[in-house]
């Protein structure tokens, strides 16, 4: 079973909570998500013991990566991926797969504007962990591209809420046309950035104050990392890992994923293919 | 909003259903999943009109890709991705992203053993569309790898149910250690196959009757497509698309994803890196 802890949104910032501890017990017993639902009554009874006594009981096991509901308190960074209906699958899960190799250092959370789910453009449905209004402080903020960006650049609430998260985050990364949303916040103004090469004209039209770079696999400028289309997010995520944790770590993760990493942010065969350079 | 239709499991095989039509209306009005939940009462009232009258009302718009709840009836193939707790994100979403470019030809569904969700090894939670017991007939069956495979190879119910789907499916593809599960069914016996190069000893130990190929990005043998670790699933999926729809289609999808496709199933730098060949 995954080391993921099932966070209750209203308990996520209250330190080590009952549910986290119960999840730890379940993990050690290989109890799955299905069991959890079936045993809700059992859970309710168990939580009555209160967090203090359970914490004391389980403290020898606390160092496990399984206990990560109070993210910052366990010393991990929080990677927050913002999604929306019509997100592109690989934009989200390429970067999250490589960061998923850093479970001891980074916790991944999924954030949406509201509700419980976001539907990808290809069909599969992703569960949200948080909404804009209750998301914890993010260390690494990411946003994907996809058809839904065409709607969200017109969605003032989305842009304003995303802007708040992006201002507060020490690292902000966009994949594909996710840069169109970041550009729309105005935060990219005066910064170098890139985006999808096939949707280049539309994406770059979101701000003429951004220094758009047509030939780039990804662009790093201060805290902003922006990638080219879809699969480029994987290369950029590895670049971000190299920036934060060293290149050796990034190479190790790429090799573990049997991925031939294009580690040169300037090597971009798709700019020419799409007529953006000669 | 996504063109996905929200299928009710108990209506999915009843032809064009009310919910599909309502979803179509919502899509044309850019109503999102969130609205749907909020307007459940409205939906319930609307479904009372019955499918026949709504169908008649909407028939001029029926050609839209938005109407795809009764998969086979709309002429599309069904790609069924089987998941489990502890699946590897990129194993699932690399192949689904490339097949997601064929929305006019292929519908994607997510299948699990039971329950409503599967939790990836990295944390994000995926919603199931079907379980083994109510899944429709699958045209392209896929299964990822990930830490959860270590548990599922011991899960007789999972293996038996997956075996039934694999027998019935015209194409069966495994990513990474997903081949360990397929090997466990016995269906790969006498066939050539490959798997993750770092977990090679464990995965290949699931059957000594499979002709395991240590140096291969992916292996095609009859209806079985098996890929090497994690990112290799993208290359294999493009190979499967080339097999089914022509190489030109696969190249076009790769270029659209700005992905440098390793289109040679024999080109595998990770066999040597992991000491499987000299």
Three-state DSSP at B226 gives strand
Is this complex's ipTM strictly greater than 0.85?
A: no
Portion of chain A with pLDDT greater than 90, in percent: 73
Residue of A nearest to B117 (CA): A33
Measured between alpha carbons, how far apart are the two ends of chain B, in Å?
A: 51
Cβ-defined contact of B257 to A229 (cutoff 8 Å): yes
Name residues whose C-beta falls within 8 Å of residue A157's C-beta, 6 or more positions apart in sequence: A113
**Which helix (H) or strand (E) segment is A254 a member of?**
helix A247-256
Q: Is the pLDDT of residue A95 over 70?
A: yes
8 A C-beta contact, residue B110 and residue B90 = no
Interface test with B, best of A86, A99, A124, A238 (most B CBs within 10 A): A124
Asked if B255 lies within 8 A of A232 by C-beta distance, the reply is: no
Task: Tell me the residues of chain B between 140 and 179 that have a Cβ less than 8 Å away from chain A.
Answer: 147-148, 151
- pLDDT per residue rounded down to tens, chain B (278 residues): 333 433 333 333 333 333 334 444 444 444 455 454 454 434 444 443 344 334 334 433 322 233 334 456 678 999 999 999 999 999 999 999 999 999 999 999 999 999 999 999 999 999 999 999 999 999 999 999 999 999 999 999 999 999 999 999 999 999 999 999 999 999 999 999 999 999 999 999 999 999 999 999 999 999 999 999 999 999 999 999 999 999 999 999 999 999 999 999 999 999 999 999 99
How close A214 comes to chain B (CA, Å)?
A: 13
Determine whether the interchain pair B88/A97 forms a contact, defined as Cβ–Cβ distance below 8 Å. yes
pLDDT of residue A75: 87
Would an 8 Å CB–CB cutoff place B206 in contact with chain A? no
A130 close contact with B: CB closer than 8 A = no
The model's pTM: 0.78
Query: Nearest by CB to A108, which of B3, B32, B124?
Result: B124
Q: What are phi and psi of B102, to 5 degrees?
A: -110, 45
* Of the listed ranges A14-28, A131-145, B144-158, B168-182, the one predicted with least confidence: A14-28
Alpha-carbon torsion, ordered B46, B50, B54, B55, to 10 deg = 150
The closest CB to that of A258, out of B122, B228, B257, belongs to B228
**What does pLDDT average to over chain B?**
82
Crossing angle (nearest 10°) for helices A247-256 and A232-245: 140
CB contact under 8 Å between A86 and B2, yes or no, is: yes
pLDDT in tens, B67-118: 334 456 678 999 999 999 999 999 999 999 999 999 999 999 999 999 999 9
Q: Per residue in B148-171, is it b (16+ CB within 10 Å) or e — as a string?
A: bbeebbebeebbebbbebbeebeb
pLDDT of residue B72: 63
Inter-chain CB proximity B93 and A92 less than 8 Å: yes
DSSP 8-state assignment for residue B246: -
Convert the pLDDT of each residue in A101-113 to its tens digit. 999 999 999 999 9
Q: How far does the CA of residue A207 sit from the closest CA of chain B (Å)?
A: 23
Under 8 Å between Cβ of A274 and A211 = no
Torsion of the alpha carbons at B204, B133, A33 and B97, rounded to the nearest 10? 70
């Amino acid at each position: 079973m995954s080391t993921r802890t099932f966070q209750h949104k209203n308990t996520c910032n209250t330190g080590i909570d009952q549910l986290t501890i119960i999840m730890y017990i379940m993990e050690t017993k290989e109890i799955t998500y299905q069991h959890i639902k079936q045993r809700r009554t059992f859970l309710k009874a168990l939580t009555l013991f209160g967090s203090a006594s359970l914490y004391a009981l389980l403290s020898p096991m606390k160092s496990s990566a399984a206990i990560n509901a109070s993210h910052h308190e366990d010393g991990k960074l929080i990677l927050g991926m913002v999604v929306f209906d019509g997100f592109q699958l690989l934009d989200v899960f390429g970067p999250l797969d490589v960061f998923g190799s850093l479970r001891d250092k980074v916790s991944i959370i999924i954030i949406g504007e509201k509700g419980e789910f976001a539907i990808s453009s290809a069909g599969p449905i992703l569960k949200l962990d948080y909404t804009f209004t209750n998301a914890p402080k993010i260390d690494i903020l990411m946003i994907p591209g996809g058809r839904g960006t065409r709607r969200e650049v017109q969605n003032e609430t989305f842009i304003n809420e995303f802007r708040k998260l992006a201002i507060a985050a020490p690292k902000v990364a966009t994949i594909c046309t996710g840069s169109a949303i970041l550009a729309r916040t105005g935060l990219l103004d005066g910064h170098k950035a890139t985006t999808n090469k096939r949707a280049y004209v539309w994406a770059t039209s979101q701000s003429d104050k951004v220094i758009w770079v047509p030939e780039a696999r990804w662009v790093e400028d201060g805290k902003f990392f922006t990638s080219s289309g879809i699969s480029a997010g994987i290369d950029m995520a590895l670049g971000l890992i190299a920036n934060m944790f060293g290149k050796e770590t990034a190479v190790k993760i790429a090799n573990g994923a049997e991925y031939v990493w294009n580690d040169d942010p300037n090597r971009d065969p798709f700019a020419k293919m799409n007529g953006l350079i000669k």
